[in-house]
Chains A and B, each alone.
Chain A
Amino acid sequence: MVSARLRELVLLVPVGLLITAGFAAVLLSRTAEINDLSLTYGGIFLGLCVVAHFFIRARLPDADPYLFPLAALLAAFGLVMIYRIDEELARQQAQWFFIGLVFFCATVLVLRDHRSLERLRYTIAAASIVLLFLPRVPGIGGQVNGAYLAINLGPVSFQPAEFAKIGIIIFLASYLAETRDVLVRGRVPRLSLKHFGPLLVIWGAAMLLLVFIRDLGSSLMFFGGFLALLYVATSRLSLIAAGAGMFAAGAFFFARTVGHVQDRVSIWLDPFQPKVVEDEGYQIAQSLFAQADGGLFGTGFGRALLDLPGGGKILPAADTDLIYALIVNEVGLFGATAVLLVCLLFAARGFRVAMLARDGFSKLLAAGLTAVFAMQVFVIVGGVTRVIPLTGVTLPFVSYGGSSIVANMVLLALLLIVSQDARRDTFARRGGVA
């Protein structure tokens, strides 16, 4: 049996090749000649990944070998796409990737045992809620595209929702690990308010998010993660159905009554209404046009129409929210499906970590983090492809954005810590050396 770490190392090689080839393709489309720049970029990226690999080898020797290469693959793909949009942006993103790796290592070093998080759950929950509502605080928060998602602290701007999602999952995992017995045993109507109350609080928080942050996407992401955890904890579909029903009812109510939510929904239903298509519907319409331009195989890296003759981009937010549309445009249906497949594989490995975990909290934590990751992919790709209304969340590891990269690196670190814990036990008991 090949050791887990060796598999991880070997898997990083195709990642390095992909990013080198990707950069080469973008450069080729610009200058019609290959220079060694792409090799340099690819080499640096591969070097960083190998360093991270040796860190994992030292600190988490038994952790899942696929999660890190999959994340690196998504990051590599994202870097190529961002490089194609703007070289300077790609340089920044590479810096963020580096900082993300530092956070990854720091998390692993600081958090010897993830179960210590359970003790801090109320602090973490409170901090997360505060984080989420910070963008509404005048002076540091601000509205972008009708939603309150970012805060500005001096020169640094960050998206608290990216971090809050991890905190909320830690809290929920810990809370449900403790109360799941009650939830499983009792019939729903007989549940005491003491146990059921916090669930109502979560629902209320999601509704508040919808109204105050004005973002259906993050709201859906949080509530989806919550329902996923609730299901894993209780295996009770009735609870999930009730929760989903409550969310749907709430969302429907606000869609009817709150102006901006209403607008979002009507744009979603018909983005091509005259006037709307040049204004609020512009993003989704351009997203669909870009995808139509891609077809089965796409135009190739760096070859899609993006820059307008008079300056500016035809596809807005191509580096962040709409990056998936650009991916479809340049690598086509096949390439985009591959990206989704990589995300799904990441989710599969994440759920695998959860299944191998030995205690309830670890299981719920891993399952919750994975679910929120998958949910985020669904929310943004679903928005871009008009499955659901378009909202502003990033495509994890792929989109440009420091908060996103750093938060997802922390998420990855937590998953690997849980995995190390679970597999060490497993392998120790089996007496294996793998």
Chain B
Amino acid sequence: MNRAIVHLFLLFTLLFSVLVVFTSRWSVLEAEGLEDNSANRRPLLEQQRIPRGLILARDGTVAADSRRLGTRETRRYVRRYPTDSLFSHSVGYSFIDRGQSGLEQFYNDELVGQGNELATIVDELSGAQEGDNLRTTLDPEAQAVARQALGGRRGSVVALEPDTGRVRAMVSLPDFDPNSIPERFNELNAEASSPLFNRATQARYPPGSTFKAVTAAAALDSGEFTPQSTVSGKNGKPISAVPLQNFEGAEFGQVTLTEALEKSINTAWAEVGERLGDSTMLRYMRRFGFGSEPPIDLPRNQLAASGIYGEDGLLDASDNIDIGRVSIGQERLQVTPLQMAMVASAIANEGTLMAPIFADRTVAPDGRVTQRFRPDRVRRVIRAGAARDLTGMMTQVVDEGSGTAARLRGVRVAGKTGTAERGAGVNQAWFIAFAPADDPKIALAVTVEQASGTGGEVAAPIARRVLESILNARGGGAGPAASGGF
């Protein structure tokens, strides 16, 4: 019998080994799949138990923090946004039953402390997982000024540092108070004015004459034109065999490119575009970032690509395009405010496009910097010389042309206005600019929906106030102020 007992014990040893194997299977080998299983609510509930890191503005202003609810066993953290609607679209929101948006979504892993393996292991040993704080480049003052300057009108302001791509301000109106998302989400989502929609990165508007800056960049960089090259500004000139009108039917003779930009002469720039041709124009557009989603640290579903949109999406060189009208911002061209800010920024940065970015660094709860976000150069769009020439031309626009409303005392501003007619007396007003023209610290794009005036009248004054605010602020450009406030 003893032999049989030994066999029996061996059998149970085998059975228990099977138990260990299966335990390994669930706890280790297939754990990842189980964690991703849609029926598994643990990851969501777990995340609720982790105090998410703060989201901080450039000066340490807290844009998002976490409030603890419940007892120790049932503790959970709920997001709170002390700055209310100031950063609603860029910072976004994060609520268990409403999902996430903006930086909250893009930097979720960092904010819950899953940014790097080592930190996770340390946290596991200490037992308390805490997220990293995210320090952004957002400038609360510039943001507030831009918001105020828009004055409740639907529209957007995007301000970038040309040499680093840092986003100093991103306003989209109407906005929303992220604190109200849990209660008002459905209501906000249904509202006709689409307050949840980030106009700065998602709205596709006709760019109007601001696009002439792109055409001018292509003209100068291709070597086929100089600022002094002359073209005809004749009203009613046929473009793609259809007569094209100047703004208010103005009649011009032979004009230089500088003059054509200053006065925003449609027929002159359409001729430039036609002479450059489809492929050159499209090539420069691509270099500026048209045709693809901008390389910014926001979730992809909150970004739109700018470009020429046909019925089935973006068009390219193989499609039939009226390039002359594209060159003056007409045709089926649609752009986001962010894309136009990138155009201004690349010209300001001597022709080099930097990737727009909100994040400056992530900081562990103990003050350790866990990640620094370095400026990321996307590509050289145009030669430095061409950029300088174009800057000169755009300075003329503000000094003497359509953009005089953006003039600043003591600082030269380069800019370009845009007015896309959307109906009788209803325009999409635009202004893109950067300043100081000789050493740009800030580049921006401003747009206002359903404006009754022109870009120069409506958008340029907004740009002036934002530029003034940023340039007057101390340390206005080199980088975020020294840390503090953690």
Contact = CB atoms under 8 A, between A and B. Distances in A.
B19 A293 contact: no
B8 interface: yes
The secondary structure that dominates the A interface is helix
Contact of B39 (A30, A285, A300, A355): A285
Interface string A287-309: 01111111111011001011111
Contacts of A344: 12-13, 16
Given A288-B34, A309-B74, A337 B12 contact: no
Nearest to A25: B127
B59 to A, nearest CB: 33
B107 to A, nearest CB: 23
A412 interface: no
Contacts of A232: 1, 4-5, 8
A96 interface: no
A235 B1 contact: yes
A5 to B, nearest CB: 25
Given A291-B27, A344-B16, A363-B1, A305 B8 contact: no
A333 B9 contact: no
Given A232-B1, A374-B12, A387 B18 contact: yes
Given A285-B39, A307-B74, A367 B8 contact: yes
Contacts of B49: 305
Contact of B1 (A233, A277, A290, A377): A233
Interface stretch (A60-68, A115-123, A378-386): A378-386
Nearest to A366: B5
Interface in B40-95: 40-42, 45-46, 48-49, 69-70, 72-74, 76
Contacts of A303: 127
A332 B124 CA distance: 12
Contacts of B6: 351, 355
Nearest to A310: B74
A336 interface: yes
Contacts of B13: 344
Contacts of A235: 1, 3-4
A183 interface: no
Interface in A223-267: 228, 231-235
B26 interface: yes
Interface in B107-136: 124, 127
Given A233-B1, A367-B8, A294 B27 contact: yes
Contacts of B46: 293, 305
B73 A292 contact: no
A406 interface: no
B28 interface: yes
Given A292-B30, A348-B9, 6 more contacts: A231-B4, A314-B41, A343-B16, A360-B1, A378-B19, A385-B23
A340 B16 contact: yes
B16 A309 contact: no
Interface string A329-362: 0001100110010011001100100110000100
A92 interface: no
B185 interface: no
Interface in B13-31: 13, 15-16, 18-20, 22-28, 30-31
A278 interface: yes
Given A307-B73, A367-B5, A289 B37 contact: yes
B12 to A, nearest CB: 5
Q: Which are the 5 A-B pairs with shortest beta-carbon distances?
A: A292-B34, A385-B22, A292-B31, A291-B26, A277-B39
Given A288-B26, A300-B127, A31 B72 contact: yes
Interface residues of A, number: 59
Contacts of B37: 272, 285, 289
Contacts of B34: 288-289, 291-292
Most chain A CB within a 10 A radius of its CB, from B6, B18, B49: B18
B7 interface: yes
A29 interface: yes
14 contacts: A29-B127, A231-B8, A233-B4, A272-B37, A289-B34, A293-B35, A293-B46, A295-B31, A314-B45, A340-B20, A344-B13, A347-B9, A354-B5, A378-B12
A181 to B, nearest CB: 12
A289 B23 contact: no
A371 B41 CA distance: 38
Nearest to A233: B1
Interface of A: 29-31, 228, 231-235, 272, 277-278, 285, 288-297, 299-300, 303, 305-309, 311, 314, 328, 332-333, 336-337, 340, 343-344, 347-348, 351, 354-355, 360, 363-364, 367, 371, 374, 377-378, 381-382, 385-387
Most chain B CB within a 10 A radius of its CB, from A272, A277, A337, A385: A385
A231 B7 contact: yes
Nearest to B41: A314
Nearest to A332: B27
Contacts of B1: 232-233, 235, 360, 363-364, 367
A289 B40 CA distance: 7
Interface residues of B, number: 45
B16 A291 contact: no
A271 B30 CA distance: 15
Contacts of A288: 26, 34
B301 interface: no
B8 A351 contact: yes
Contacts of A290: 42
Most chain A CB within a 10 A radius of its CB, from B30, B42, B74: B42
A354 B45 CA distance: 49
Nearest to A311: B74
Contacts of B32: 292
Contacts of B31: 291-293, 295
B127 A305 contact: no
A228 B25 CA distance: 28
Most chain A CB within a 10 A radius of its CB, from B27, B35, B46, B74: B27
Contacts of A355: 2, 5-6
A385 B26 contact: yes
Nearest to B48: A309
Contact of B9 (A291, A340, A351): A351
B45 A308 contact: yes
B439 to A, nearest CB: 54
Given A308-B45, A385-B19, A387-B22, A292 B27 contact: yes
Contact of A293 (B2, B22, B42): B42
Contact of B28 (A278, A295, A360): A295
B24 A333 contact: yes
B70 A309 contact: yes
Contacts of A305: 42, 45-46, 49
A278 B38 CA distance: 11
B12 A386 contact: no
Contacts of A277: 39
B4 A382 contact: no
B267 to A, nearest CB: 62
A378 B76 contact: no
B18 A382 contact: yes
B22 A309 contact: no
A412 B223 CA distance: 96
B35 A333 contact: no
A332 B27 CA distance: 7
Nearest to B19: A381
A285 B41 CA distance: 11
B74 A314 contact: no
B22 A351 contact: no
